[in-house]
Amino acid sequence: MSVIVGIDLGTTNSEIAVIRDGKPEIIPVEGEPIMPSCVGIDPGGNILVGRTAKNQMVAAPEATILSIKRKMGENTRISLADRSFSPEEISAMILTKLKSVAETHLGEAVTEAVITVPAYFDDAQRKATRSAGELAGLKVRRIINEPTAAALAYDHDLGTDQTVLVYDLGGGTFDASLVVVQNGVVEVKASHGNTHLGGDDFDRLLMDYADDLFFEQQGVRLKTDLKAANRLWAAVEKAKRELSDAPYARIREEFILSDLHLDLEIARTDYEEMIRPLLEKTMDSVHRCFKDAAILPGAVDKVILVGGSSRTPLVSELVGNAIRTETHQEIDPDLIVAMGAAIQAGVINGQKTHSILVDITPYTFGTRAVGMLDGQMREDIFVPLIRRGTALPAKKGEAFATMFDGQKAVDVRIFQGEAPLAEDNIFIGNFLVEGLSDCPAGNEIVLTLALDLNGLLQVTAVEKRTGLSKTVTMETDNGKAPLDLNAARENLSAALGHAPATTADASQTTDAKQALINAAKDLRKRAGVLLDSIDPTDAQELRSLLADSQKAVSNGDADRLAQLNESLSDMLFYLED
């Protein structure tokens, strides 16, 4: 049985994958999982494809072409140095390189492929893609839609009826698609987007920002010098990626223009304000998609984020707020479409395929801070940093500010859970950062959480203005912390007045702890209603139990909480009568 490869022939980057031992595997190109969809001709007349072509992009723009996908299906010629090519021929060069890399990697000839295209591609564009494959010596067994490939990667046989929103934000294009799976039939019900919107636009905004700042300081523009502009582009793109995981990014380029240096810092909040209008435009496409498909957002079972730029945290925030369904990006958003294509190839080849397994955190980790909840300012808001479903290992940072003038210390408290109030979640640990500078309120503290595959959580707090830092490693619950489950269940059933549902997987312990916390919250609420109407002695006793219950939650003391829940439950039984 000869191999069939899956290829994501993208506007900015392309990837190739194959099924091995039932699982999709990305084949690296020159050590990288993704290859720039770039073709060029070097001064010696040799064809360059991928990274080497991209490297000469700024120096030799007339001999280099990127984003040929935008021209597929057009009857046009592209000039490259002193030669000219059709869009199919250029795409064939990209496919030829991927094919040859796969042959070396697999040690066998590769002659068949499944290639993905955007759902909005018309017949001419699909035919052109097929022709490009054939020019590259590949029999194109099937052309599939990119959103369908993404859905396949999450659910390899699409055996369950479902409605999936695929939000795909790449380097140069954006599209949103609604994929409906019913009785094994997969249909892209609607697709909308913008073929000129993506991460490259974010780079341009950052370049303008840095260029303006440099001009203010030095009186010269970086963008007018080709070499400096190229370095600036690479630097802002790197900073942009860093801002997906950290609250600040520093851009430092020495001797960027003769003897001048560029040195600036950008805050994620400022960057988000720059790109917000563009992301809002993507949300307009999402809404049009719903309208066209006559589907309500509430009917969506799953939201899948695709494309490198969908790693921008503001994307999941905006999409999550609009759809109110968890967004999935556990599978690498750069590679997911190629993996889905490989799964389709495997199905055509009669190979058994499995779902893609990724290590993810089943719980959200965050800290406690002052913030608004239901229009009320509170001191105990839970601020998530690493969200449930994030692929591991994960590292995420956020900036916080001190509350008081001259504040010398902060108590960093870490919780695990999904509740909006910190203390309704599981307490993981805390530490004090002392010796902060004597300055007005608003002193920034950058908190970074790094979670590894073993559930070890490294928490670092840094005073931004001085670099004073403290790092503590905490063991997260991960379903392994000791707790007497039977005792917890008994206690719970007393508190709830009925037997709690039994849990059956490895997260039992955590679920039981969370259930204890929920039960305590419930009991405190019931007690709160009674406080003003009962005998003062009873009220005093009840208040003391409530304070102890709150303390046990704060300290993460599950055993004590179990006892207190029981006492509270007994007392309420008698008081509510």
Residues from 171 through 190 that contact ligand AMP (CB under 6 A): 171
Between CA 197 and CA 175 the distance in angstroms is 9
In 3D, which of 115, 66, 113, 58 has the Cα closest to residue 87? 66
Q: Of 162 and 309, which CB lies nearer to ligand AMP in the complex structure?
A: 309
CB of 150 to ligand AMP, least distance (A): 11
CB 507 within 8 A of CB 362: yes
Q: Of 97 and 240, which CB lies nearer to ligand AMP in the complex structure?
A: 240
Between CA 360 and CA 85 the distance in angstroms is 45
Between CA 48 and CA 45 the distance in angstroms is 9
Residues from 77 through 116 that contact ligand AMP (CB under 6 A): none
CB of 166 to ligand AMP, least distance (A): 13
In 3D, which of 459, 318, 450, 462 has the Cα closest to residue 399? 462
Whether 525 is catalytic is no
Q: Of 240 and 489, which CB lies nearer to ligand AMP in the complex structure?
A: 240
Backbone angles phi, psi at 92, to 5 degrees: -65, -30
Paired tokens of 127: 């035919």
> Annotated catalytic residue: which of 89, 112, 155, 168?
168
Tokens 């498909």 correspond to: 293
Paired tokens of 109: 């000839």
CB of 527 to ligand AMP, least distance (A): 47
Between CA 576 and CA 531 the distance in angstroms is 11
Q: Of 308 and 500, which CB lies nearer to ligand AMP in the complex structure?
A: 308
- Degrees (nearest 5) of the Cα angle 324, 307, 458? 75
Between CA 391 and CA 398 the distance in angstroms is 18
**DSSP states of 388-451 as a string?**
TTPBSSEEEEEEEE-SSTT--EEEEEEEESS-SBGGGSEEEEEEEEE---S--S--EEEEEEEE
Q: Of 371 and 393, which CB lies nearer to ligand AMP in the complex structure?
A: 393
Backbone angles phi, psi at 276, to 5 degrees: -50, -45
With CB under 6 A as the contact rule, which of the stretches 6-14, 59-67, 283-291, 364-372 interacts with ligand AMP? Answer: 6-14
Q: Per-residue contact track with ligand AMP, 115 to 154, x per CB under 6 A?
A: ----------------------------------------
54 in contact with ligand AMP (CB under 6 A): no
Paired tokens of 541: 């006793």
CB of 393 to ligand AMP, least distance (A): 14
Between CA 324 and CA 282 the distance in angstroms is 17
> Annotated catalytic residue: which of 23, 69, 97, 99?
69
Name the residue type at position 15: E
237 in contact with ligand AMP (CB under 6 A): yes
Whether 8 is catalytic is yes
In 3D, which of 45, 18, 37, 34 has the Cα closest to residue 335? 34
Q: Of 268 and 524, which CB lies nearer to ligand AMP in the complex structure?
A: 268
With CB under 6 A as the contact rule, which of the stretches 9-17, 109-117, 416-424, 458-466 interacts with ligand AMP? Answer: 9-17
Whether 69 is catalytic is yes
309 in contact with ligand AMP (CB under 6 A): yes
CB of 394 to ligand AMP, least distance (A): 12
> Annotated catalytic residue: which of 15, 89, 112, 146?
146
CB of 26 to ligand AMP, least distance (A): 13
334 in contact with ligand AMP (CB under 6 A): yes
241 in contact with ligand AMP (CB under 6 A): yes
Paired tokens of 440: 């007005």
Name the residue type at position 446: V
308 in contact with ligand AMP (CB under 6 A): yes
Whether 513 is catalytic is no
312 in contact with ligand AMP (CB under 6 A): yes
With CB under 6 A as the contact rule, which of the stretches 68-76, 233-241, 377-385, 470-478 interacts with ligand AMP? Answer: 233-241
By rule CB under 6 A, what count of residues binds ligand AMP?
Answer: 19
13 in contact with ligand AMP (CB under 6 A): yes
Task: State which of residues 69, 71, 99, 240 lies at the interface with ligand AMP (CB under 6 A).
Answer: 240
CB of 383 to ligand AMP, least distance (A): 21
| CA 111 to chain CA centroid, nearest Å | 35
Using CA of residue 128, residue 131, residue 133, residue 136, what is the dihedral sign?
negative
10 in contact with ligand AMP (CB under 6 A): yes
69 in contact with ligand AMP (CB under 6 A): no
Backbone angles phi, psi at 350, to 5 degrees: 75, 20
20, with CB counted inside 10 A (0-12, 13-18, 19+), is: middle
Task: State which of residues 125, 177, 194, 244 lies at the interface with ligand AMP (CB under 6 A).
Answer: 244
What number of helices (H) and strands (E) belong to the chain? Answer: 13, 26
Task: State which of residues 193, 307, 340, 346 lies at the interface with ligand AMP (CB under 6 A).
Answer: 307
Cis previous bond, 393, omega within 30 = yes
Task: State which of residues 3, 4, 6, 12 lies at the interface with ligand AMP (CB under 6 A).
Answer: 12
Residues of this chain that bind ligand AMP (CB under 6 A): 10, 12-13, 34, 170-171, 198-200, 237, 240-241, 244, 307-309, 311-312, 334
Q: Which residues are catalytic?
A: 8, 69, 146, 168
